Amino acid sequence: MTDTITHPFSDEPIEEVELQDAPLVKVMAQLRFPMIAAVSEMAGPTHFQRALSHRYPVMREEKQIAAVMTGEGQVIQTGAGTIRRFHGLADGWSVSLAPDWVAIETTEYTVRADFISRWTEVIAALQTLDPSPVVYDRLGVRYVDRLVRAEANEDLSVLVRSEVLGALVLSEGMSGGSELVGVFTQAHFRLDNLQLLARWGRIPASTPVLPGIDPIDEVSWILDIDVFTDASGTPFLVEDIAHASEHAAMHAYRFFRWAMTDEFIHRHGNQS
């Protein structure tokens, strides 16, 4: 049996269920901090790289370009920076380091404890930078699930709560050549010192709708949950950041479990 979640923001206890066939596209965490110019230098992140080389032995450098659009519609480049990408050997995990942020992302998520453990290693590695962060400004954890084929169409009503389906219920009564091509919902919640941004809906084939998530060549249904805190000037303490990250991930999981039905959990958890 699974726990039925009556409200996405209740205090009722919930046990994490490991989904052996989870439809996760990507799981990410990001920490923003005041600029560290040395990261852009060739040897700046040498010790950071060494601290993580046991998991992410491949480093590649990318250029980040910032631009704005004027009132006349002209795009003006406002700056450029260097991003270092650290990859595992085809294991679906990577770390990105820029002068003012660090992030981890994976397509091979298993359980929260493993994700937070790897993320804590990354946060700790920031202490090897010279200078290292003394405060941070923003922390976020994001989960993106995507259903495809039958699950994104005729099976959706048994996998997703009716409160979440929204306008998709209208597609059941359409006839003839009529169809609901796509629908996308966004909800923004404030939870004490956290904020939760949830976006979900049916996405037409080859349609980009979410930053960092590539479109696919078939209709899909996406649930994107981003939990974050704007904490400008918060002291940089590895243990505190790890705890805050786990707290954010727990809220994301609670919203996910509320949005999906027990049938979804049974199906993707391979439970009887």
> What pLDDT is recorded for position 43?
85
Q: Give 159-220 as a DSSP string.
A: HB-HHHHGGGGGGGG--TT-----EEEEEEEEETTEEEEEEEEEE-TT---STT----SS-E
**216 and 205 in contact (C-beta within 8 Å)?**
yes
State the Cα–Cα distance between residues 160 and 165, nearest whole angstrom: 7
How far apart CA 64 and CA 7 sit, in angstroms, is: 40
The model's pTM is 0.88
Residues 203 and 219: beta-carbon distance below 8 Å: yes
Of 37-41, 100-104, 105-109, 121-125, the one with minimum mean pLDDT is: 37-41
- Pair 145, 25: CB distance under 8 Å: yes
d(CA 144, CA 132): 31
pLDDT of residue 170: 54
Distance CA 72, CA 169 (A): 41
Supply the pLDDT for residue 23: 92
Among 50-59, 202-211, 253-262, whose mean pLDDT is lowest?
202-211
Domain regions of the chain by residue span: 24-269
Question: Cα separations (Å) of 96 from 10, 44, 151, 159, 182?
Answer: 34, 14, 33, 34, 33
pLDDT tens-place string over residues 228-255: 998 899 999 999 999 999 999 999 999 9
Residues 6 or more apart whose Cβ sits within 8 Å of residue 218: 148, 149, 205
pLDDT of residue 1: 43
- For 133-165, how does the pLDDT look when each residue is reduced to its tens digit (9 = 90+)? 999 999 999 999 999 999 988 898 899 998 898
Question: How does residue 5 score in pLDDT terms, banded at 50, 70 and 90?
Answer: confident
Q: Quick one: pLDDT at residue 72?
A: 52
- For residue 241, how many other CB atoms are within 10 A of its CB? 23
- Cα–Cα distance for residue pair 249/115, rounded to 1 Å: 10
Q: Is the peptide bond before 8 cis (omega within 30 degrees of 0)?
A: no
Structure letter (DSSP) for residue 69: E
Question: For the purposes of burial, counting CB atoms within 10 Å of the CB of 221, is it exposed (0-12), middle (13-18) or buried (19 or more)?
Answer: buried
Q: What is the CA radius of gyration of the chain?
A: 20
